[in-house]
Amino acid sequence: MKLSLAFLLLPLLVAQAAAPPPSTSSEVDAVYPQSEALYLDLHQHPELSLHEQQSAAKLAAGLRKLGYEVTTGVGGTGVVGVLKNGTGPTVMLRTELDALPVEEKTGLPYASKVRTKDDTGADVPVMHACGHDVHMAAWMGTAGIMAGRRDRWHGTLILIGQPAEERVMGAKAMLNDGLFTRFPRPNFALAVHDDANLPAGVVGYHAGPILTNSDAVTITIFGRGGHGARPETTVDPIVIAARTVLALQTIVSRENSPFDPAVVTVGAIHGGTKNNIIPDDVTLLLTVRSFTDPVRQHLLAAIERIAKAEAAAASAPREPKIEHVEGTYALVNDAELTRRVSAALTRELGAERAKETPPEMASEDFSEFQRAGVPVLMLRVGAVEPAKFEAAQKSGTPLPSLHSSLFAPDREPTIKTAIASEVIALRELMAK
Ligand SMILES: [Zn+2]
Ligand SMILES: [Zn+2]
């Protein structure tokens, strides 16, 4: 009797063991309502860089509920969640926490109305205009799927919430606070970023450099002020600044190889108070972009050489002051990691949803983790409603970019594609 019962049950047991696991899309559908609720909450309560306390607390609470070992206050407001699941690779997934001083004009019912004081004391609006709320919501959905299906991966999963990405400070702050020493050092680091130039539902990948070195440079040009009608008694820093701005244009156009992408932009010029006064000094604010270390060094050295030479040509009383105020490294997606993950994405989502996308002249401090010796991969997740994307392609009208007051991600397909991409990538790298 016992034997025959076991015999009868056997096919059922085998059938259960062999039943295919649920599809990624049904797993994503199951966690989406919580991710959406978190998104709507975060979107209406954005926080500026270095002030992400509430966002960090929400992420930490969510991870704790899922059984992650959570540490807060890493490198400022940073959150680290660790989920150990036997021996195997250690993989880190990052989200950013911060928003921007932008006034939301999307007209959405859940648009941000938040205003706050920035670090200079000025009253500013705040908006998730870069979509870091999309990343946080997806990251939490991924955290849920990974915690719920530990039978489908092994190793150590590290989820981090990184502060101050918009000021390219947070990644370094977390590293300096022991991210790779107090917690297991990852074999791979992953991140996604939403993309205002890709239709929702699409995930983009690209091996090699995808984002640039970025340097912010301030040049203060010193002259000798005086009466606007007595130029012979002065050294006019406005004229020196004008010549400097034009000469700086020749760095990219004449000194740099056309095969090496580079940008030197003078984004602000400040000097003078009145039409009949020659000021004592003028300040130029520059952003400088490049993909390689040699090009970066050349651009920065050329800026210094030209600024000093133009001041000397005008007989300025002192050399200009040149300050490197902020900088981050180019983001280089690891070739082998990109190959593995893009193959998995193409297999699971299809070639019409997993696409090769071009690099951009924007920047990100996710590159700090790669500088610390970890192979990294950042995927792009389309955020534009497909119909709007098509209409814009046809009309040639540019879509609102990231950081725009009108940026409004098509939330459901964007968040769902971000979760699916993260889960597919993690399972590929931590496969049993
Ligand atoms: Zn941004
Ligand atoms: Zn961003």
- By CB atoms closer than 10 A (0-12, 13-18, 19+), residue 338 is buried
Residue 104 φ then ψ, to 5°? -70, 130
Residue 180: per-residue pLDDT: 98
Distance 253 CA to ligand 1 centre (A): 28
Distance 155 CA to ligand 1 centre (A): 31
Catalytic residue among 96, 165, 194, 236: 165
Cβ pair 203, 345 in contact under 8 A: yes
| Among 117, 112, 211, 204, residue whose Cα is nearest residue 165 | 211
Residue whose entry in the numeric block shows the structure tokens 């539902």: 201
Distance 107 CA to ligand 1 centre (A): 21
Distance 364 CA to ligand 1 centre (A): 8
Distance 182 CA to ligand 1 centre (A): 28
Q: Known catalytic residue: 334?
A: no
Ligand nearest to the CA of 404: 1
β-sheet bridge partners, residue 72: 79
Distance 84 CA to ligand 2 centre (A): 29
Counting DSSP H helices and E strands in the chain, the numbers are 11, 18
Pairing of the two strands 331-333 and 226-227? unpaired
Give the burial string for 341-350 (b: 16+ CB within 10 Å, else e). Answer: bbebbbebbe
User: Is residue 406 helix, strand or coil?
Assistant: coil
pTM score, two decimals? 0.89
Residue 7: per-residue pLDDT: 47
Distance 202 CA to ligand 2 centre (A): 18
| Among 353, 356, 352, residue whose Cα is nearest residue 339 | 356
Residue 18: per-residue pLDDT: 52
Element of type H or E holding 241 = helix 237-250
Distance 274 CA to ligand 2 centre (A): 39
Distance 312 CA to ligand 1 centre (A): 38
Cα–Cα dist 192/213, whole Å: 19
Give the Cβ contact number of residue 387 at 10 Å: 10
Catalytic residue among 27, 96, 98, 166: 98
Transcribe 273-332 into DSSP letters: SSTTEE-SEEEEEEEEEESSHHHHHHHHHHHHHHHHHHHHHTT-SSPPEEEEEEEEPPEE
Sign of CA dihedral 170, 173, 175, 177: negative
Cα–Cα dist 126/116, whole Å: 7
Q: 3-state SS of 358-396?
A: CCCCCCCCCHHHHHCCCCEEEEEEEEECHHHHHHHHHHC
Residue 19: per-residue pLDDT: 61
Distance 403 CA to ligand 1 centre (A): 6
Q: What is the residue-level pLDDT of the chain in tens, covering all 432 positions?
A: 444 444 444 444 444 445 667 788 999 999 999 999 999 999 999 999 999 999 999 999 999 999 999 999 999 999 999 999 999 999 999 999 999 999 999 999 999 999 999 999 999 999 999 999 999 999 999 999 999 999 999 999 999 999 999 999 999 999 999 999 999 999 999 999 999 999 999 999 999 999 999 999 999 999 999 999 999 999 999 999 999 999 999 999 999 999 999 999 999 999 999 999 999 999 999 999 999 999 999 999 999 999 999 999 999 999 999 999 888 999 999 999 999 999 999 999 999 999 999 999 999 999 999 999 999 999 999 999 999 999 999 999 999 999 999 999 999 999 999 999 999 999 999 998
Residue 323: per-residue pLDDT: 98
Pairing of the two strands 262-271 and 354-356? unpaired
Cα–Cα dist 264/245, whole Å: 10
Q: Known catalytic residue: 104?
A: no
What type of residue is 11? P
Distance 284 CA to ligand 2 centre (A): 26
Distance separating the N- and C-terminal Cα atoms of the chain: 38
Enter the DSSP assignment of 235.
B
Tokens of 270: 């400040």
Distance 375 CA to ligand 1 centre (A): 22
Give the helix ranges, DSSP H, for 45-149.
53-65, 132-148
Residue 218 φ then ψ, to 5°? -115, 130
| Among 203, 208, 210, residue whose Cα is nearest residue 342 | 203
